[in-house]
Every structure is written in C-alpha cells, then in structure tokens.
Chain A
Amino acid sequence: MLDRRPTFWALTLPPLVWLGAFFLTPLAMMAAFSTRPDLRGRLMDPWVPSLHQYEVLLSVPSYGRLLAISAGLAFVVALCATVLAYPVAYYLAFRKGRRTGTLLILLLLPFWTSYLLRVTAWKFILGSSGVLNSLLLYLGWIREPIEALLYNRQAVAITLVYVWIPFAALPILAALQRLDPSLLEAAADLGAPPVRRFLRIVLPLSLPGVLGTFFMVFIPTVGEYVTPLLVGGSRGSLYGNIIQDFFTKAANWPFGSALSMVMLVTTLALLAVAVRVVDLRRFIE
C-alpha cells in the first residue's frame, strides 16, 4: 500500500500552522491577559495571575444580562435569516433554468460593496428624513416622520438579517442541490401532493444545510459590534460593543479579554446544548 503520510502532512500542516499562529496563539494570549490584574507596566512583563477581572465582571449584573440579550438577538436574527433564505435557495435549486447563474450572481451582488456601506445604507432608508419616512409622508400615510425606525435594537436586527440572507442561502442551496430528484419523482408517482413532498422529503434532507446556516449566522452575531454602532443608537449596544470599548476606548485589555472569554464559553455551552437538543450528528451522518 502506498504511504500516504507525507501527502497527509503536506496538506494538513499549512492550515494547522496558520490556525495555530493566528487563532490558537491569540486565543491563548487573550485567556492569559484576562488573568492580569490590570494593564499597568509593560504588556509582556510577567504578572501574578488573578481572577480579579472575572470578579468585577460578575459583580456587574448588566454585563451578563447584555450577553443574554445579545444571544437572544442572535437567535432571532439567525432564525429569520435562515427562514427567509430558504425560499431563495429553494427557488435557485429547483426553479432553475438558463438564468440560475445570473440569479446566483445577483444574490451575491451586495458582497461587491463594503459591509460598512451596506449597513450605512440602512441609515438612509430608516432615518427620520430617510427613504421610508419620505415615502410614507409623500403618500400621506403619516404626518410626522416615524423616529422609532432607526437607533434601536430592532434596527440592528433588521440590518443584520438583511446582511446575512445571501450568506445563509448558500449552505441551504448546496444541501438542496445534493437532493436526488428521483426521490421527488417517486413520491409524486405514489401520489404525494407537493406540500407533503416538501415536508417529508425536501425539508428533512435539507436540514443539515439549514442547521449549518443557523449556526453560521448565530455564532458571529452573538459578538457583533459594527452594526449596533451604526444603527443601534444609545440603547442598542450589544455585548460585542462593550468588549470593543474595553480594548479601544478604555485601554483595559484584561477586562476586555475576560468579557471575551465569558462570551466564548457561553457560546460554546449554548452550542453544546443545541447539538444535544437537535441531535446534529443524526443529520450529518
């Protein structure tokens, strides 16, 4: 038998080194910094590890509460983005014709613009003198601009769902494309109506893609900070904003690191619970 080991290592080593250098090392440094009592002295000077930052963190209930809110918002955003992306993926997978390639490009078109620009665009749509308010005023449906559209958590959720939909459609599309069309033909021959065919065949077989999409949106959204900064207003801060503040506005890396570690552990714990509940392995196998 051919020795495949050199090939294995040649292929595995580069990504391992990359992950080690740019993911695991920073993660370990963050974990280490979170045990620093403060940021006095040189950054790399040795320090006596302490749990001081975690004690402070636990003594302020609003941080934990904000983490729960952020996870809740991420759940809603992931759910909405997945549900809304499903029909898009379905259409692309089954109603395909000559135009599938064009439609796919159209779906991905927003990515040609900067993320910041797309989020800022929502300010022009939702603002008090923005597109939506101007339209409603013009139509005479409202007399005063609705100010509640922008600068709150709903605006954050709306913007995030918008940003995620094209991303979310891709894993679902991949799952639907793997589906064997003869299964659907057999079901139709046996007299199953379209709704039943969808519920009994298409949906269950595409669930791995759906769950993958959900988590792909949920995990980064828990720590999201750019969107709340732009459209969240005074009351729209999420947990990620607090972490960012401790790094960039407070020069307090130890506390920011402790906040990050708590978020990491919480997200992993939530994932572990979710995997148990939906029994992810059953779908993947």
Chain B
Amino acid sequence: MSIRTRMTVVLAGAGALALLASCAPAPVAPGEVSGTLTVLDWAGYDAPDFWIDFQTTYPNATVNFEIGASDADIYSKMAAGDQADIFHPYTGWLQFYVDEGLVEEIDTSALTNWDQVPDSFKAIGQINGRQYFIPWDWGFTSVLYRTDMVPTGVDSWAALFDPAYAGHISMWDDGPGAVTISSYVHGYDETAITAEQLEAIKQEWIAQRDLNLFYWAGEPELIDAMAGGDVWVAYAWQGAYATLLGQGIPVAYANPSEGRNSWVGVYGIRKGTTNLDLAQRFLDAKLAPATGNNVVNLFYYGHANQAVMSGITDATLVDAFSVNDPGVLERTNFTPNLTADQRDAWTGMWAEVKAAP
C-alpha cells in the first residue's frame, strides 16, 4: 500500500467517523436543538399531548404532522415517496416497509428510554432480526357488548355471527381483521390461510352482512352507536370500552375462549431522511413517561414504557387493560405480519363481501 493510498484510507476513515459522529445524538444542549420534523400519523395523534416530552425538551424544534387514514393509506403514501421523517404503522403492516427498503434501522443505543421497554415489545419492532421500529401504543381487540341487551354475556368471537343480535352487530371495516376473527373461530392458522379457507371466510362474512348494522371506520362512530343502543355487539378496541364505561353505558369487554387479539403501534424512520438525529430524539421522547401517561389517560391505550403501565391506578383503566388478570394476556393472540400476497388477497376478499349481491 503506497503512502498515498494509505492516506486516502485514513482520510476516508476519519470522514466515516465524522459522519458517524454527526449521526449519533451529538452532545448538544437540548434547548439548542432545532430543525423541522415531519411525522405521518393518525388523526388525533398530532395533539401535543402525545409528544409532550419532545415539545418540552426541544422547544426550538418544529414538528409538522401529516395525517394518514389507515395502515394501507400510510403505507401507500410512504411507498409513493412521501417525505415524512417518521411514520406510525401497526402490527400486521410492518414487513413491507422493510421489504421495499422504506425504513431506517434504529440505533437503540441512542434511546435513553429504551430500557423501560419490555423485550416482548422490542421484539415486535424487529424484522429480519433488526430493530426497524420502536413499539409505542398497544391495546386489545375483542368483542364489546351492551350488558343490558346481551344479558347472557359473550364468551366467543362467534357472537359477531349470532342471529340473536341481528341488526345490532357492528364489525370493523377491515379485511385482515375479518380473516383474523374467522381464523380464531375456526381454529385456522392465521399465517397460512389457504384459498379454500379464504373462500369459506368470504361466504361467512357475506352471510354476516345481513346481521351487521354497519361496518365502523372510526371509533367515535362505534361509540355513538353503542351509547345510543343501536349496536349491542361489536368488534372493538379497548379505547371504545373505556370511553363507554366512562360515559356510564352498561358495557363489558369479552374474554373470548379463543383469546383476545392484541395490536401494537410502532414508529419507524424513513430511509434516507436527512433528519436522522432529530428523528431518533423524537422517538426517544415518545417513550418518555409524560407522553406515555397521556396515551394511557387520554386515549385509554397501553404504552410501551413499563413504568407508565405499572403506575396505572384508575379502576376503569385497570379493568380495560385487565391488569389484575394476567391470564387474559397469556391467552391473547398477537397480530402477525401480513405478506404482500395476503394483503392483496384479504383486502380483495373484503371488497367482494361488500360488493356481494
């Protein structure tokens, strides 16, 4: 190796080091950190309550929000070249971001709150063995029902297909969600649904449509219909349960024999962002306690920070998270990641259900 090439290598090494140093959160006083971050999030999550730690720690940084309507919408936007630095998908919709090279690996050593995240949650943000996402909010899906209208109670997901509640059932408007429920009811392997099973699932939901009042798209719509007494039995997240309990409506959240479903919301950083440092700081602040407490107390969802969860004392929330009943969590089914083929087949199946004669 000549002196010249050796110099080049040394220089290149120094350059790489400098580059690395610029990527890692440099020892800058938080108050001096500035810049603009764009976050692609769901409606409601743009409220400062849900990123309060970032706001108070970095008063000179600006955060802009773009709103996505659904997981599919957020994914389509990112795939179409949206320039948001950070985005917020949910379990089931993570694999494609990695497959299509849309997400940056996260440097967890830079996250001061990372130790507060249980390993089981960390694992949800790992794809192909790497940490591409940080877990943030989580919750259950189960059957929510009016105890005055359904005095016998609900002990199975099959309640959504029970003719006794005809005209008073409401399912979430979502194909993969429908496949999940049918899989629980019939004991199918959700990760390996065959074409025949999918056809049977389609027929089952076409028949269910006559019992179903409407497919809900947003939680407020479902909450109104259950509070008003039009809907007695519904596919629901526990946020709706806690809200209705808070309103004094007689509702219960089933523990189906097939197990509840659980979902986790994660944050990812867009590959190629020029705001990597600020984005990492944002994610770290997202895991901080004040933000976490707001998620729990304002949205009634769980937070990835263990300390936040163990601090819950409100009786309604203890009930909503089944904090006192560890058996519920043990029997919970976590949402597996969809493949692109499953995504197309299951959403197509759902469109055919809605279009059926």
By a beta-carbon cutoff of 8 Å, the part of chain A in contact with chain B is: 38-44, 56, 60, 62-63, 65-66, 127-129, 147, 151, 229, 232-235, 237, 239, 241-242, 245-253, 255
Q: What's the minimum C-beta distance from A42 to chain B, rounded to whole angstroms?
A: 7
Interface digits, B111-138 against A, CB 8 Å rule (1 contact, 0 not)?
Answer: 0000000000000000000000000000
Interface digits, B71-83 against A, CB 8 Å rule (1 contact, 0 not)?
Answer: 0110110011100
User: Judging by beta carbons under 8 Å apart, are A39 and B347 in contact?
Assistant: no
Chain A residues near B156 (CB-CB < 8 A): none
- In Å, the complex CA distance between A44 and B72 comes to 18
20 contacts between A and B (CB under 8 A): A38-B340, A39-B79, A42-B81, A44-B81, A60-B355, A62-B355, A128-B229, A129-B229, A147-B167, A242-B355, A248-B70, A248-B76, A249-B70, A249-B347, A250-B343, A250-B350, A251-B79, A251-B347, A252-B344, A252-B348
Could you say which of A65, A232, A245 contacts B347, with CB atoms under 8 Å apart?
A245
By a beta-carbon cutoff of 8 Å, the part of chain B in contact with chain A is: 69-70, 72-73, 75-76, 79-81, 100, 167, 171, 173-175, 209-210, 212-215, 217, 228-230, 340, 343-344, 347-348, 350-352, 354-357
Name the CB-closest residue of A to B80: A43
Q: What's the minimum C-beta distance from A19 to chain B, rounded to whole angstroms?
A: 23
User: Judging by beta carbons under 8 Å apart, are A250 and B228 in contact?
Assistant: no
User: Judging by beta carbons under 8 Å apart, are B80 and A241 in contact?
Assistant: no
Chain B residues near A237 (CB-CB < 8 A): 354-355
Could you say which of A234, A235, A247 contacts B76, with CB atoms under 8 Å apart?
A247
Could you say which of A42, A63, A252 contacts B355, with CB atoms under 8 Å apart?
A63
Chain B residues near A66 (CB-CB < 8 A): 355
A233-B213 contact, Cβ under 8 Å, with A42-B79, A247-B76, A248-B73: yes
User: Judging by beta carbons under 8 Å apart, are A246 and B215 in contact?
Assistant: no
- In Å, the complex CA distance between A48 and B22 comes to 42
User: Judging by beta carbons under 8 Å apart, are B230 and A248 in contact?
Assistant: no
A151-B213 contact, Cβ under 8 Å, with A41-B100, A63-B355, A248-B70: yes
Name the CB-closest residue of B to A123: B224
Chain A residues near B214 (CB-CB < 8 A): 151, 232-234
Name the CB-closest residue of A to B173: A249
- In Å, the complex CA distance between A151 and B350 comes to 19
Given contacts A234-B214, A251-B75, A255-B348, 6 further A-B contacts (CB under 8 A): A62-B356, A66-B355, A233-B213, A241-B354, A249-B174, A249-B347
User: Judging by beta carbons under 8 Å apart, are A235 and B343 in contact?
Assistant: no
Name the CB-closest residue of A to B169: A234
- In Å, the complex CA distance between A38 and B343 comes to 11
User: Judging by beta carbons under 8 Å apart, are B100 and A65 in contact?
Assistant: no
User: Judging by beta carbons under 8 Å apart, are B210 and A235 in contact?
Assistant: yes
Name the CB-closest residue of A to B354: A237
- In Å, the complex CA distance between A147 and B228 comes to 13
Chain B residues near A147 (CB-CB < 8 A): 167
User: Judging by beta carbons under 8 Å apart, are A250 and B213 in contact?
Assistant: no
Chain B residues near A252 (CB-CB < 8 A): 343-344, 347-348
User: Judging by beta carbons under 8 Å apart, are A246 and B73 in contact?
Assistant: no
- In Å, the complex CA distance between A73 and B355 comes to 15
Q: Can you list the 7 inter-chain pairs with the closest CB atoms, starting with the nearest?
A: A250-B347, A251-B72, A234-B212, A62-B355, A237-B354, A233-B214, A66-B355
Chain B residues near A249 (CB-CB < 8 A): 70, 72-73, 173-175, 347, 350
A42-B100 contact, Cβ under 8 Å, with A151-B213, A247-B76: yes
User: Judging by beta carbons under 8 Å apart, are B69 and A248 in contact?
Assistant: yes
Could you say which of B174, B340, B354 contacts A40, with CB atoms under 8 Å apart?
B340
Chain B residues near A253 (CB-CB < 8 A): 76
- In Å, the complex CA distance between A69 and B352 comes to 15
Chain A residues near B174 (CB-CB < 8 A): 249
Chain A residues near B80 (CB-CB < 8 A): 43
Chain A residues near B69 (CB-CB < 8 A): 248
Chain A residues near B73 (CB-CB < 8 A): 248-249, 251
User: Judging by beta carbons under 8 Å apart, are B340 and A246 in contact?
Assistant: no
Q: What's the minimum C-beta distance from B56 to chain A, rounded to whole angstroms?
A: 35
Q: What's the minimum C-beta distance from B247 to chain A, rounded to whole angstroms?
A: 15
Name the CB-closest residue of B to A129: B228
Chain B residues near A233 (CB-CB < 8 A): 212-214
A127-B213 contact, Cβ under 8 Å, with A39-B79, A147-B167, A245-B350: no
Chain B residues near A229 (CB-CB < 8 A): 217
User: Judging by beta carbons under 8 Å apart, are B76 and A251 in contact?
Assistant: yes
Chain B residues near A42 (CB-CB < 8 A): 79, 81, 100
Q: What's the minimum C-beta distance from B286 to chain A, rounded to whole angstroms?
A: 25
Chain A residues near B356 (CB-CB < 8 A): 62
A43-B79 contact, Cβ under 8 Å, with A62-B355, A62-B357, A249-B173: yes
- In Å, the complex CA distance between A98 and B230 comes to 48
Q: What's the minimum C-beta distance from B9 to chain A, rounded to whole angstroms?
A: 35
Q: What's the minimum C-beta distance from B89 to chain A, rounded to whole angstroms?
A: 11
Chain A residues near B70 (CB-CB < 8 A): 248-249
Chain B residues near A127 (CB-CB < 8 A): 228, 230
